Structures are given as C-alpha cells and as structure tokens.
Amino acid sequence: MSKYSSKDVILLIDGYNVLGQMTELTDAKEAITEDVTGFSDAWEQHEYVGVQRYELSQNGFFNDAALSVNAAFNEKQGDSRVVCFGYEGNTAGKAFVGLGGAIETRFERIATQKNLHKANIQYICDGESSDGDILLALTAKTADGDTESASVDNGADSTGGAYVFLQVTALDLGGYDNIVVTVRSSTNDSDWANLQAFTAVTAAPAAQRILKTGTIPRYLAVSWAFTGTGSDPSATIFVGAARL
C-alpha cells in the first residue's frame, strides 16, 4: 500500500491553480438516513433513504494576487464550479476526483493577530462526485502533441460512459486562434480515434466537464493542437476521465 503526503495533492478549480495557497483539503461522502425510531424501540433506529451527499472544503492562506485565492473564490458563492483534485500526485494514471456541480457555498476570510490572513472555502456537490484517472498531468505545452505513446490502460473497455474533465490554468496563444484538446481512445493501444473533443479554449483560466455516453475503450490518451498561425504558444492543461 502506498502512502502519500501534502506534496502529492493536486487542486484545480475552474482553471485556477491555488494549490500553493492551500494547507488543508477535506472531501466527504455521506449516506442520508432518517431516524425511524418507534415508541417501542429501546435503541435509535435509522434507515438509508437512498440519497447521498458529497461535500468538499479547503483551508489555506488569503492572497489577492492575480489568479490567486481572492480572484478564484470571492463573489463566487452560489456558482457551480468544475473542480479536479487528487491525493496521489500530478501524474498520468493516478487517481483524481472530478466535480462538475460543486456549488461554492461559503468563502471565509480570517484575520488574527500575529498571523497571516486565512481563506477557507466550502462546496456542496449538486449531484455525484466522479472518481477517475488523470490522463494528462498539469503541464505546460508549447507545441501540438499527444500522449498516445503513454496511454492510460483501464484493463478493459467499459460501457457506462464517462465524464471527461479539462482544466486550463494558463494560456498564451502567441497569435494562434485557440487550443483544442481532445480525449483519444483505442481498443488495442495502437489504432487511435477521437473520443471527445473539448470546446476550443481562447483564454485561461478555463475548465470544462463533458459527459460522453456509450462504450469507453480500454486505452485513453490526450491530444492538443493550436489552431491558426502564430509563434511560441504555451498552454498549461490538465485532463482526466472518470468512467461511469
């Protein structure tokens, strides 16, 4: 069994990478129950009502720099956020959790004497959380490319569909029109086809979650391409897939 530490955590919210400001991350799944204790019962009785709830909270330091904590979270209460995080490292093939309906319910700023200001954020998930695999670790790309030679192997095809996630934390198009990121798939790790393309991205921060229905082939990879003409582009992107 592997052990992990704080250096292995990844956290991306709507394309914002605030990991360096965060010090604590907690996610919790809860089965909703109802108290069904009757008059004659000597002990409390509870029954599962068939509904689950997912909550996420993060604590850390307040920072008002561009693209940092205040920009990412202030005045976003009630907004539905695309969140991707993981505890096992920023590496393709490692596990991550994706949330497409993470409603930011609370942004709390704390100032105390002789301490740096803190910022705490809470979410409740509108729907389910999605456990998946990182297909492309958060890295900067400066030319068209793909990961087909380092694909992620699921061991077999799956038939329930999948959510695919994209996070773009930085983008300098260098004159290009946009960047298009596509999840690619293969049944044999040799012959590849497009599985799902994300909407072309023209600015960062940006994030997308797309539901792809039907059969999801065994092997998955990612391709990216800058559209148009330009020079010296750079895009920092993350892609993950959560099979259903």
Gap between the Cα atoms of 155 and 219, Å rounded: 8
pLDDT of residue 29: 95
205 upstream amide cis, omega within 30 of 0: yes
Name the strand (E) or helix (H) holding 70.
helix 69-73
0.85 surpassed by pTM: yes
Q: What is the mean pLDDT of residues 34-60?
A: 97
End-to-end CA distance of the chain: 25
Domains of the chain: 6-37+46-125 (2.30.110.20), 135-243 (2.60.120.1110)
Q: What is the mean pLDDT of residues 209-213?
A: 98
Per-residue pLDDT tens for 110-160? Answer: 999 999 999 999 999 998 899 999 999 999 999 999 999 999 999 999 999
- Using alpha carbons only, give the angle 240, 243, 244 rounded to the nearest 5 degrees: 140
Q: What is the mean pLDDT of residues 189-213?
A: 98
Q: What is the mean pLDDT of residues 208-228?
A: 98
Q: What percent of the chain has pLDDT over 70?
A: 100
Per-residue confidence at 104, pLDDT binned at 50, 70, 90? very high
For residue 1, is pLDDT > 80?
Answer: no
Q: How would you class 1 by CB atoms within 10 Å of its CB: exposed for 0-12, middle for 13-18, buried for 19 or more?
A: exposed
pLDDT of residue 131: 97
pLDDT of residue 127: 86
